[in-house]
Amino acid sequence: MTADLTFGPDFRWGVSTSAYQIEGAVAEDGRGPSTWDTFCAGPGRILGGDTGEVACDHYHRYAEDVALMRDLGVGTYRFSFSWPRIQPSGGGPANAAGLDFYDRLIDTLLGAGIQPAPTLYHWDTPQPLEDAGGWLERSITDRFADYAEILAARFGDRVPMWITVNEPMVLTLMGYSLGAHAPGRELMFDALPVAHHQLLAHGRAVQALRAAGATNVGIAGNHAPTWPASDSEEDKEAAALYDNLINWLFADPVLLGAYPPGYEAAMPGPVSDDLKVISEPLDFFGINHYAPVSVGAATGRADTAATDGILLPPGVPFEPRSLEGYPRTDFGWPVVPSAFGEILRIFKDRYGDRLPPVYITENGCAYGDTVDDQRRIDYLDGYLRSLRQAMDDGVDVRGYFQWSLLDNFEWAAGYSQRFGLVHVDFATQVRTPKASYHWFRDVIAQSRG
């Protein structure tokens, strides 16, 4: 292995998953309904009519999956707690059987020498909370703080790394603004309170975790460079607006304690007090990265391939455009390794000493190749080299968690997209490590040299 893929003995290698995408067992152990259960039941919502009802059956097969991680050589497993499995109604006493499941998982991880790095929330809101207004209502932040207290009290003695919220941008945009994800609301810019309440819930969770003794707490945001579609002033202005909405609306409040100019007035108050909570100092900042986005001024001829098939409604002043000249994953996302290092350098330049150490909490690609997945190897090789270069340029990155260990339920795309290092036959649940699994195992082993 060449020297530019050497990351040192203290670098944390891991894999990431989320509860609804792999656990299954949606009606077992007292788990309540989630917004994704409800969304999947709606006709035409999910490609092929798929659901997460069984997914990878990780609930029953977690020991096998932990063994795969152990053999892979990762030192960290980023998973998510299922809020409706812990609190079926979104409040009140915890469900003992749900807590017991995560006890078993965490103890099995520790027994395999793997550090658990749980995410408190990865989009699966308890349906009763959504029925009461969901993330549009400020009261959900109280419920989330209670939920964080339950988790910290039960697992704080064994969990050395905590992530509060995953990709608040995606829930805001896809779930509440465009309706392409659960809960399927189409509020457009009226969804901005969802962003604020998720960030406030994050801050409340940081406080709750710290009060329980947690010393390594962060958030996971989805971030990528925004490239103007041309040098025209119209395209540059459209790209800047998109960049603020997708990137800085979610990172600035956490790292700077302020919204980008013009957005604070759109948020439910008391905003100035809330920002003090939202900007509680973090021990690390998680960045999920996949691909850059090209954005231009709205023309009415948007290419839906740039937005996972979603056509933005009339009146939006920008439109994502397809990036030409790059290979694409089977999901249609452009493969641009240099953009990975670019977004990391942007964060370093934008936030300076306000940026804590960074973890790459997700990065990966969807290819339908069953076991011989050379395209995934090529993707990971390029992105890891870009990451190494950014680190050489002074970005303090402490770990890389690949998305994902397993092929899984890919939200609105159902089971059509495979992100896993391990192939899953969803009819039999047989797991088969792919060529990329073996390649990644070698990278981990040799990169510590």
How do beta strands 422-425 and 430-433 pair? antiparallel
Cα–Cα distance between 128 and 52 in angstroms, integer?
19
DSSP for 47-106, written as a single string:
GGG--SSSTT-HHHHHHHHHHHHHHHT-SEEE-B--HHHH-TTSSSS--HHHHHHHHHHH
Task: Locate 298 and state its tokens.
Answer: 């709205």
- Residue labelled with tokens 């003794």: 213
CA atoms within 13 A on the CB side of 302: 23
Residue pair 418/373 in contact (Cβ under 8 Å)? The answer is no
Cα–Cα distance between 375 and 101 in angstroms, integer?
36
Task: Locate 320 and state its tokens.
Answer: 């994502």
Residue pair 2/92 in contact (Cβ under 8 Å)? The answer is no
Amino acid making up residue 156: G
Helix, strand, coil shares of the chain, percent, nearest 5, are 45, 15, 40
- The reply to whether 149 sits in an annotated binding site is no
- The reply to whether 227 sits in an annotated binding site is no
Residue pair 195/274 in contact (Cβ under 8 Å)? The answer is no
- Encode burial over 160-187: b for 16+ CB neighbours within 10 A, e otherwise: ebbbbbbbbbbbbbbbbbbbbbbbbbeb
Instruction: Choose the catalytic residue: 149, 167, 319, 342.
Output: 167
167 in active site: yes
- The reply to whether 247 sits in an annotated binding site is no
Question: Cα–Cα distances in Å, from 28 out to 32, 59, 96, 266, 349?
Answer: 9, 9, 12, 41, 47
Residue pair 240/309 in contact (Cβ under 8 Å)? The answer is no
3-class state of residue 247 by DSSP = helix
- Residue labelled with tokens 């800047």: 240
Cα–Cα distance between 151 and 398 in angstroms, integer?
25
- The reply to whether 21 sits in an annotated binding site is yes
28 in active site: no
- The reply to whether 290 sits in an annotated binding site is yes
- The reply to whether 53 sits in an annotated binding site is no
3-class state of residue 372 by DSSP = coil
Instruction: Choose the catalytic residue: 149, 280, 342, 362.
Output: 362
Cα–Cα distance between 221 and 167 in angstroms, integer?
4
- The reply to whether 87 sits in an annotated binding site is no
Residues in binding site for substrate = 21, 122, 166, 290, 403, 410-411
Question: Which residues are catalytically annotated?
Answer: 167, 362
